[in-house]
Amino acid sequence: MLAVKTERLTKIYKTDGKEIKAIQDLNLEVTPNQIYGFLGPNGAGKTTTINVLLGLTAPTTGTAWILEKQIGDIEIKQKIGFLPQSPYFYESFSSVELLNFYGKIFKIPRKERYKKIEELLDMVGLTDSRKIPLRKFSRGMLQRIGIAQTLINDPDLVFFDEPIAGLDPVGRKEVMDTILNIKKQGRTVFFCSHVLHDVEMLCDSIGVLDKGQLIVSGKLKDLLKPKESLEEYFLKSIEKKGGEKA
Amino acid sequence: MKSAKASIQIIIAIMLLVGLMPLGNTLNNIKEDAGLADRFIQRPALGFDNIAADILWIKTIQYMAGIKKADVKSSNITYEMFERITDLDPLFTGAYTLGGLAIAHKTPAKSLILFDKAIAHNLNIGWRIPMFAGVVSMHNMKDYDKSAKYFALASEVKDSPFFLKRMQALAKARSGDLGTALILWERLYNSSDSASVQIAKRELVRVAAEILKTSTNNKLRNKADRIIKEIL
Amino acid sequence: MNIILTIAQGVYQRIIKSRILYVIVVFCLFAIAYSTLYSAVTAGEETKLMKDIGLAGIAVAAMLISIMVGSTAIPAEIESRTIQTLISKPVKKHEFILGQFLGSVYVSLLSIAIMSVGFIIILAIKTHALNLIMLKPLILICFEAIVLVAVSVLFSTICSSMVSSILAIVVYIAGHLSYQIPFLVERAGNVVTKFIGLFLYYALPNLQYFNVKAPAAHGICIPWGLVFGVILYGAIYTAVMLLVSLVIFKNKDFA
């Protein structure tokens, strides 16, 4: 079983008569129970890929499967969680109200829902600020409540789009610990980032996307030579790709 | 598949919109029957016509309070103001009444225009406005025929006072239509209203005497003669 | 249904915390209360004036609130990208639209109800009678608000909240004038003008149907047949607006 599989996935945007290929013939396979780092420079098409996988936008050609179900099937959404890039939630809501709202969307029974909310708040360390409206939250706190929100439905697969970007060192540490914790619970994490240091510490395998195309994919320990950092490897592969094209 | 579903939805939307046409006509008819037709509103103000009328009403009252000497000019201005108020709020009977009475002395013809408008735009106008119109046409216009018509209209309103019928007969007599006056007074003489019977007795004699003095119609003269004999 | 109601409840929870709503409601109640002081200059028509001001005040406030709420609900979700989180959950697009619509309707009706109760109470104090005849215009104000929410929701699936509220206000104005179109069409010589006129007449909501404020203030009986007919009219028009919104929204990307 694969957590994520895409087949010649292509998304073309048309703006002002120009066609922009955001992703091109993307073939991706992500096995379950791991943290998969989806890397690439800004504008490589990482977010577009996630948006297509989640059904927020339709692919131009090609298709994809999530947890063995073709995208577009509403049932998939019962089993996944999603944290968008720099997430924004209803700012007048408190953490409890927000989690309760999403819990109700999943039709989780009341008693179970409140139990789950307590668990999640405890897990992301927001139990004390449960009643504070989200507009008073710091970025790190917002990121944490965002992560809690992805887990309300006990998903098998979670998508994180740049979860660590823009956080201070303490915030990064907290978020990374939480992500590792999620993996320990037996879930698959699909993790988008351009902060390579964090990816190196967290991920089991990676895929590198550049200009809409997958240029590298595999297990981190197989890809990296001893003492080579991911950053070195990443730059090397992108340059190599550029050289091939030239 | 997706586009097929969308086209079905669009078709349903258009059908519903078409279905609104007969419903709209029905609603127009109901409004018309209830005397609430929108066409009466001459100066539309987006559904706030009556508020606009109220503001104008307050302004008009203030204008009228400031008039030092009533003349034709001020009367004409007052008329225009009430005309506008009632364009905005055709159901505002208070405005027709006050306006019509206020300008009756200087410009009675315009006063009658206001009263006529009130009668045309209100299904249940009551008896007061036709009565005022009758009084204005009788006293200010000296148009007794018209006056008799207004009194007739007023007296037909349910629960209207009995004296309106007497006013109608009086107006008819003054207009010179002695024959009709005679019939009307005779009816009142035979009615159950004691006050009217007394007055009718006196008026019948007066009208009959007038007929005998002026009329050349033999049939009418005979009738007058018979009535005088009956009463005296 | 459950999801629709949850989304509606979310809309309600968000809007109810916004101050502008309270400002409108309180201002309207204040205007009604203030109108009782006008008796000196109304030459015996103060009750009519009070009823007029009350009904008009509630109608204006209802229009402002329903357009404001209806045209911001969806753009707020799109602009703040909260829609991405929501759509990534098992929410179908029609559930999203209907939820936003119902939530907005709920807020509008709630504010109309509060203003109406205040109005009836102030009127009862002034006239020493319970003016239940006022219920009919108030009911129709509610349904006009529902139609306006639906119109605003439709616009907000295409435009920003600012543009859609302006368009909704244009529809409000045109909707109150559209009853005059047939009279204008009769006089128009050109076939094209006639066609455009009739198209507008049937495509725009005839909001004048919902306006029975004047007869109610004059104490004229408004037939129940008219009230129910207008409610049916409003319901059908709302359904049309929502159907079109759904069609537009189905093909929308939220990336």
Q: How far apart are CA C126 and CA B120, in angstroms?
A: 32
User: Among B2, B9, B58, whose Cβ lies nearest the Cβ of C246?
Assistant: B9
Whether the pLDDT of residue C135 is over 90: the answer is: yes
Q: What pLDDT score was predicted for residue B223?
A: 83
Distance from CA of B106 to the nearest CA of C (A): 22
The pair of structure tokens assigned to A184 is: 């320990």
Contacts of B17 in chain C (CB under 8 A): 202-203, 240
Asked if A167 and A178 touch (Cβ cutoff 8 Å), the reply is no
Q: How far apart are CA A70 and CA A78, in angstroms?
A: 14
A14 closest CA partner among A56, A57, A49, A76: A57
pLDDT digits (tens, 9 = 90+) for A59-88: 899 989 999 888 888 888 999 999 988 777
The number of helices, as runs of H, and strands, as runs of E, in chain A is 8, 10
Q: What pLDDT score was predicted for residue A19?
A: 86
Q: How far apart are CA B137 and CA B129, in angstroms?
A: 12
pLDDT digits (tens, 9 = 90+) for C50-89: 888 899 999 999 999 999 999 999 998 988 888 989 988 9
Higher pLDDT: C44 or C21? It is C21
Closest chain C residue to the Cα of A52, Cα to Cα: C255
Beta-carbon separation of B92 and C218 below 8 A: yes
Q: Which domains does chain A have, with CATH numbers?
A: 1-79+157-169+187-246 (3.40.50.300), 86-154 (no CATH)
φ/ψ of B159, rounded to 5, equals: 65, 25
Contacts of C86 in chain A (CB under 8 A): 105
pLDDT beneath 50, residues of chain A = none
Q: What pLDDT score was predicted for residue B80?
A: 92
Neighbours of B204 (CB within 10 A): 23
Q: What pLDDT score was predicted for residue C39?
A: 67
C152 closest CA partner among C163, C143, C141: C163
User: Among C17, C89, C253, whose Cβ lies nearest the Cβ of A106?
Assistant: C89
Q: How far apart are CA A71 and CA A54, in angstroms?
A: 7
Beta-carbon separation of A89 and C82 below 8 A: yes
Domain boundaries, chain B: 41-125
Q: What pLDDT score was predicted for residue C233?
A: 95
Q: What percent of chain C has pLDDT over 90?
A: 55
Distance from CA of A79 to the nearest CA of C (A): 9
Residue C1: pLDDT band with limits 50, 70, 90? low
Chain A interface residues (partner C, CB cutoff 8 A): 47-48, 51, 54-58, 74-75, 77-78, 80-82, 84, 87-90, 92-93, 97, 101-102, 104-107, 149, 153, 159
In a domain, residue C89? The reply is yes
The pair of structure tokens assigned to B13 is: 């939307």
First to last CA, chain C: 26
Q: What pLDDT score was predicted for residue A244?
A: 63
Alpha helices in chain B (DSSP H): 2-33, 49-66, 72-88, 93-102, 108-121, 128-135, 144-156, 163-175, 178-189, 194-214, 218-231
Q: What percent of chain C has pLDDT over 70?
A: 97
Look up the ipTM and state it: 0.85
In sequence order, what are the residues at sequence separation of 6 or more whose Cβ sits closer than 8 angstroms to the Cβ of residue B69? Answer: none
Closest chain A residue to the Cα of C77, Cα to Cα: A90
- Give the range of the structural domain holding residue C141, as residue numbers without chain letter: 2-250
Whether the pLDDT of residue C154 is over 90: the answer is: yes
Mean predicted confidence (pLDDT) in C20-35: 88
In sequence order, what are the residues at sequence separation of 6 or more whose Cβ sits closer than 8 angstroms to the Cβ of residue A193? Answer: A37, A38, A39, A162, A163, A164, A165, A199
Mean predicted confidence (pLDDT) in C165-174: 94
* Structural domains counted in chain C: 1
The pair of structure tokens assigned to A34 is: 């791991």
> What is the distance, to the nearest Å, from the Cα of residue A114 to the centroid of all Cα atoms in its chain?
25
Higher pLDDT: C15 or B3? It is C15
Mean predicted confidence (pLDDT) in C37-44: 70
Asked if A163 and A179 touch (Cβ cutoff 8 Å), the reply is yes
pLDDT beneath 50, residues of chain B = none
Q: How far apart are CA A61 and CA A9, in angstroms?
A: 6
| 3-class secondary-structure state, position A66 | strand
In a domain, residue C255? The reply is no
Q: What pLDDT score was predicted for residue C181?
A: 84
